[in-house]
Every structure is written in C-alpha cells, then in structure tokens.
Amino acid sequence: MKMPGRENLTVNSEDSGKRLDQFVSESLNISRSRAQKLVESGNVSLDGVAPKKNYRIREGEVINIEPMSDDSGILVPQDFEIKIVYEDATLVVIDKPPGLVMYPAAGHPDGTLMNALAHHCPNLASIGGPLRPGIVHRLDKDTSGLVVVALEDEAYYSLQQQFRERTIERRYLVLAYGRFRSSSGEIDKAIGRALSDRKKMSTRTRRGKEARTCYRVIKEFNGVSLVEARLATGRTHQIRVHFAFGGHPVLGDRTYGKKTSLLIGGRTVRIPRQMLHAQTLGFKHPADGAHMLFDSPIPDDMNEILNLLRNVS
C-alpha cells in the first residue's frame, strides 16, 4: 500500500499500551514490516524524538508520521561550511545558523545541515533514518543555535533517553513582544494540535500534553523584552506557542505572532525571522557520563535588533 501524506495520530484509551509499530500498522492499514521500517527509518516521531518500534504508546500521545521518500533515500554529502563547536567519535555539536533546514524533506531535498554533516563525517549513526541519521532533536529552520547529533548508535540511544527523562539542559534567548508582568516565572499550559489548523500547535486543543516553560527577563526595552527561556518539557514549537499564549509572541514569528516589524527610533525595522536562539545545550556524554555544556553567541541578525533597541532606550 502506498504510504499516505504526513499523519498526526492521537492515541486513544483503546490503543494505549500497544507497541508503536502495531499502532502505526493498524492506523495506516499497512503491513507490520512496513510500519517497522517507518519507525526504524526515523519517519515516526513522538515530541520530536524517534522512539523504538517496541515503545509502548500511552493515551493522549500524538504520533507524527512522515511518508517515506519515493527516491533512494540516500543522504547526499555536500561540501559547504557548518559551524562545529565540539566533535568526538560518538557525537557532534553544531551551531546552526538561521535559515538552515535540519535534514532533507519535502520542499528541501538538499542543502541541509545533514547534507553538510554527511560530507564532514562519513561515518554517521545508522539509526534515525537514511536522511537524518543520528538526529535526536531538531531546531526549526528559522531558529538558530546549538544542536547535538549522534555519530554512533549507542550515543543516539543515550541522548534519546536523556531527552525523554528531561535531563537535557536547553536555554534559549528570545526577543519577545511587550513587557512581562513578572521578571521571572513559569508558563504551565498543555500544548497539542490546533483545532483550526492541524499544522499548528496550540494551547487550545482537545488532547494537549503537559508543557512547561520557565522564563527570566534579562532586559526590557520600549515594547520589547529580551528573555531567557528554559524548556522543562520539549513540545513542538513550545516557546513560540507559550509566549504567544501569554501575549508576548516571539518577534518575527510569522506563524504564532505576526509581529514582523518594529518602530525603533522613528523608523520601521523589519524582523527577518523569529528571534529565537538556542543558546545553551547541556547533557551527559554517552561514553563516560561527563557533563557537557555549550554556549552559542547571539547571532548577527538578533544582535543587530538588540543594538538598535539599546541605542534608543
């Protein structure tokens, strides 16, 4: 049977406790072996993480399924520069610039971070799918900052488990619209697929999943706040959705906020992309358990907006 388009399947009470591959097989009316191939290739994800085929699903979880590519599924190495901040035999940490897609998909067949990494690292993990081997988490195209990719299968499973146990440290810098009532706090609001648009996430949803974002205001400007956000959970578009819910959408976010320009010093300044930067990434090294912590400098486009704001404050 031909694989359908992208699916977002919500687990109900009757399916709770089933193996993931069984659920995919029954939901899509495809063979069990086809479902297992989808899972093993990384085309099936849960909260942005690719689970094992024998994972036991739970009620309320949203299983994201992307179709298998009709081509060879071969990741083509491409020679262009990516900023590697750490590398050893088991993993690599990359500082992703804004505008760079993580891995090939519909509309972005090449020119992605994984194409460049395949050129730099001929030996990648075998898990995660032929087009995204070793990917345990991702950043949106227009989000900049740190991402870790496993180069060995054991490292992949270790990092995946750390994400599931929420022991990965992830801190973001955000330029958000408006001023916050409190200088720090926590946004605790479940997130799920939007009722009106299944391509978007929302706090208004039938089956939301626990989502918590901690924040700290670093600096206030005229109508804009520089904020540090820490993910206590890892839902799709979590910071963008939570900040929009609180009335402080991320500047430049064309999906959830539409605050795409600012009046600074009497002139209108266009915001080129969502001002969201994955600044800090921390985890235990899969090989020896050593604590690894990395920080990324503020990217140029974000710094430019900040300098303009500082000059008129």
Closest of 77, 150, 159 to residue 116, by C-alpha = 77
Separation between Cα atoms, residue 170 and residue 280, nearest integer Å: 6
Separation between Cα atoms, residue 66 and residue 241, nearest integer Å: 22
Closest of 207, 167, 176, 173 to residue 292, by C-alpha = 167
The answer to whether 192 touches 184, Cβ cutoff 8 Å, is: no
Here the tokens at position 204 are 């208004």
Helices (H), the chain: 20-28, 32-40, 113-120, 153-164, 238-245, 300-312
| From 140, 142, 253, 301, active-site residue | 140
DSSP letter at 128 equals S
Q: What is the total residue count of the chain?
A: 313
Query: Does 140 participate in catalysis according to the annotation?
Result: yes
Instruction: Report CA-CA distances (Å) from 100 to 82, 115, 297.
Output: 10, 11, 17
DSSP letter at 192 equals E
Q: What amino acid occupies position 51?
A: P
Provide the annotated active-site residues.
Answer: 140
